[in-house]
Amino acid sequence: MRFSDAATTAYVSLRHAKMRTLLTMLGIVIGIASVILMMSLGSSAENLIVGQINSIGSNNIYIEPGAPEGVGFSESFLDQMSIKTLKAEDAEAIAKDPLVEAASPMIYSTGRVSYGSETKKLMFMGVTASAYVIDNWHAEKGRDIDEADVRSFARVVTLGKKTATDLFGQEDPLGKTMQIKNITFRVIGVMEERGMQIFQNFDEYIYLPLTTAQKLLVGIDHLNAISVKAKTKEAVPQAVDNIRELLRERHNIYNPNGDLSKDDFKVMSQVATANMLTQITGVLTAFLSSIAAIALIVGGIGIMNIMLVSVTERTREIGLRKAVGATTKDIRQQFLLEAVVLTVSGGLAGLVLGIGINYLIYLVLSNVLDIGWNFSLPLAGIILAVGVSTLAGLVFGLYPASQAAKKSPIEALRYE
């Protein structure tokens, strides 16, 4: 039998039982749609996270107090709250490293902020002038916090763009005074719009001199973090090592083997963080796709089941075909092709469905919720979907096709 005739025969047979064909395909449709969706969402999530991290520069290194990687989240958070060894002098020492362009010490906290009748609880950050070098982000009105402000514990602030609008409305905030935790500060600048980065909206923060924030608002002399910019992207790994050595020496930590669990700080490069998050999203995506693949297997088993029922129901037809000249090979080919047509059609429908749902999610997240979500179509996923659905047809169709091919024409024609 010609392959084209076999394909036509398979198609016509499926067409003669439309509802059963559609219901049988459903398992494959759902399975493939789920796998495509999981892979697409995983890819988009990875792009979003990595994009957010890379948006603030791939030369950046971030230092925090607290337990390094490997310790549980809650323990790390508590350690971060209690470890007070990271100081502004550490940032000064780091800035002297030949591979480092700038090091910016910082603290952050929240407090009640008021102007006139407006009162809000907002995040404020204590920074030095080096913060603007690292982030390349400056006041669009007025001026940045400078070293003189830091030395003099000045009670001045610069406002994120959204905060300026929220507190002052149409009024020009420059030169005005406002309260943070009932302490009066003068507004010296309004920052350029920056938007969401690393899932934080920098336009909603207030910025003030580090020393002022430490002494007047939070009452601490240690830091929450140090942001560092390496001179080049290639220098980052060595700079990370240098910083670890430096801080171990300054904090009197004896750690000749470089065991990160012995440090009272953690040093994370953007690149390493991006790689770690890429790994995490990759594992999550693989895990979710595996679960979705289970739906595919169930769909395949469903197809095998229905094909076996179909073979039994069409026993007389098989006998007739053999009577008029079909060979065992022809019958096997016909039923195998039916299974493949079912699974490939289901796979393509699943592909369209998965892509469609993915696009809807993209529309909602990017337009309605204003999250920088991109529409991702993993080519590997598409090829996998088509390949797997074809393979599923061959695998799950083989047994029913063999059963059909084995039937004796005499017995088949006698079948009631």
Q: Which residues bind other proteins (CB under 8 A)?
A: 1-2, 4-5, 9, 12, 16-17, 316-317, 319-330, 409-410, 413
Burial class (CB in 10 A: 0-12, 13-18, 19+), 270: buried
How far is it, in rounded angstroms, from Cα 35 to Cα 293? 6
- Residue 41 CB, shortest distance to other proteins, in Å, is 42
- Residue 318 CB, shortest distance to other proteins, in Å, is 11
Take residue 220 and report the two structure tokens written for it. 């601490």
Take residue 116 and report the two structure tokens written for it. 């006139």
- Residue 297 CB, shortest distance to other proteins, in Å, is 31
What percentage of the chain's residues is helix, strand, coil (to nearest 5)? 60, 15, 25
DSSP 9-40: HHHHHHHTTHHHHHHHHHHHHHHHHHHHHHHH
CB closer to other proteins, 13 vs 34: 13
Task: Name the pairing type of β-strands 183-191 and 156-159.
Answer: parallel
- Residue 336 CB, shortest distance to other proteins, in Å, is 16
CB closer to other proteins, 262 vs 329: 329
- Residue 348 CB, shortest distance to other proteins, in Å, is 25
CB closer to other proteins, 173 vs 319: 319
CB closer to other proteins, 17 vs 253: 17
- Residue 369 CB, shortest distance to other proteins, in Å, is 50
CA-angle at 345, arms to 342 and 351, nearest 5°: 135
CB closer to other proteins, 1 vs 129: 1
Beta strands in 239-341 (DSSP E): 265-269
Query: What is the maximum span of the chain, computed from C-alpha positions, in angstroms?
Result: 104
CB closer to other proteins, 192 vs 330: 330
**Cα atoms found within 13 Å of the Cα of residue 354, Cβ hemisphere only:** 29
